[in-house]
Structure 1
Amino acid sequence: MLNALYKKCLELAAHKSSKFFLGIVSFVESSFFPIPPDVMIIPMVFAKKKEFIKIFLIATIFSVLGGIFGYFLGSFFFDFASEIISIYGYEDKILKIKNDLNEGTGFYAWFGILFLAGFTPLPYKVFTIASGLVGFNLLIFIIVSIISRGLRFFIISFLSYKFGYLFTEFMNKHGSKWFTIIGVVLVFIFAVVIYILKHTS
């Protein structure tokens, strides 16, 4: 099933209306679809190198809009949201963070997790839905999504433009690992900055 969807996304990347389909895939991936937009972004940039910024913007904008849709799924359709979260096995983790948020703690933890979900191979859709489910601040959710998704898709688009098929080989072998490492480092830097600001004010 996943392999068939993957191949279909590759076919859509070569379609004359590929940007339209990229927008659709980016939107639905943020709420329930299992194949990430990266699958389309890389071959699209190969085919139209001068449009790599437009491709990255389409993926980012529609991914964030899809994330907002996922947020409202979590807010208003509890049973459906819980079913999607349970598929990925995150029920206990989400419940714990919801309790922490209700008790006034856990905000920064969720902030960091949401960033990592948008930037790394973590299932972003689970955390868009869960953000609505736990009542995380919508404005902050949108800002974090724009930064994490935008940074991820810009890196993929730019490096595809710059290095071509060498980048494809790198992504296939090491992509998940390095996006995770970079994401964790960025969250760590953010945590250190917050800590310093709190203790110097």
Structure 2
Amino acid sequence: MIFAGLYNRAMGWAEHPKRERYLVGVSLFESFIFPLPTALLMIPMVIATPDKAIRLATITTLMSVFGAAIGYLLGWGAMSVIEPWITEMGWLPQLESARLEFVKYGVLAVGIGAFTPAPFKIFTITAGMLSMSFIPFLLVSLVGRAAHFYMIALLMAWAGPKMEPVVRKYIEWLGWAVILLAVVGFLIHKYI
């Protein structure tokens, strides 16, 4: 019961008086180092407090973009230091794939990474590593992350409280389905 435990912990954080501080930390670090998507924490928070969906999406977006700037700077100035860690985490193939996306799409690659459930940290570090123009990087990150987090927050505020009992009942199936979809999406992207 991997996902049930994570879900219960996230729901506990969602109801904690300092929940916004947790969200700030996770949103900030997810953009350059933290392995779990920020939405996994934001979704239960919005379900627990749907009237604060806009506030939670705003916090998540701003901190994610601030973290993206840190990821950019790490890629730009400390790639030789962090590359062994990236290799150890198994992210080197994703980093190379992101590099190819940057060559092909330029700044739009950041927008794709910012909006999709792909590991955004790979895009932030790669943008810095390739010395992408910083201001366009920040603007596209802001637009992509805002679209991603506001869409999720508003959807969860509208449907989340009604769906929470269903999500809780089928959380293991949903968790594995998301992982399967991510793997299939990665394979489709890589080979097609």
TM-score (norm 2): 0.75
Q: In 2, Cα distance between the equivalents of 1:31 and 1:66?
A: 6
User: Amino acid of the residue matched to residue 122 of structure 1?
Assistant: A
Paired residues for 1:143-182 under 5 Å: 143-164=139-160, 165-166=162-163, 169=167, 172=174
User: Amino acid of the residue matched to residue 166 of structure 1?
Assistant: M
Are residues 6 and 161 of structure 1, via their aligned partners in 2, closer, same or farther at CA, if it must alter by over 3 Å? closer
Moved more, 73-82 or 53-62: 73-82
SS at match of 1:90: helix
Are residues 95 and 162 of structure 1, via their aligned partners in 2, closer, same or farther at CA, if it must alter by over 3 Å? closer
The alpha carbon displacement at 1:92 in A equals 3.5
Paired residues for 1:16-55 under 5 Å: 16-55=17-56
RMSD of aligned residue pairs (Cα, Å): 3.2
Paired residues for 1:49-198 under 5 Å: 49-86=50-87, 87-88=90-91, 89-94=93-98, 96=100, 100=103, 106=104, 109-164=105-160, 165-166=162-163, 169=167, 172=174
Between the two structures, name the one with larger relative contact order (CA 8 Å, sep ≥ 6). Answer: 2
Partner of 2:16: 15
Work out the number of aligned pairs and report it: 171
Are residues 6 and 125 of structure 1, via their aligned partners in 2, closer, same or farther at CA, if it must alter by over 3 Å? farther
8 Å contact 1:41–1:157 — kept in the other structure? yes
Structure 2: any 5+ residue segments left out of the alignment?
186-192
Are residues 141 and 54 of structure 1, via their aligned partners in 2, closer, same or farther at CA, if it must alter by over 3 Å? same
Q: In 2, Cα distance between the equivalents of 1:111 and 1:77?
A: 21
Structure 1: any 5+ residue segments left out of the alignment?
101-105, 182-201
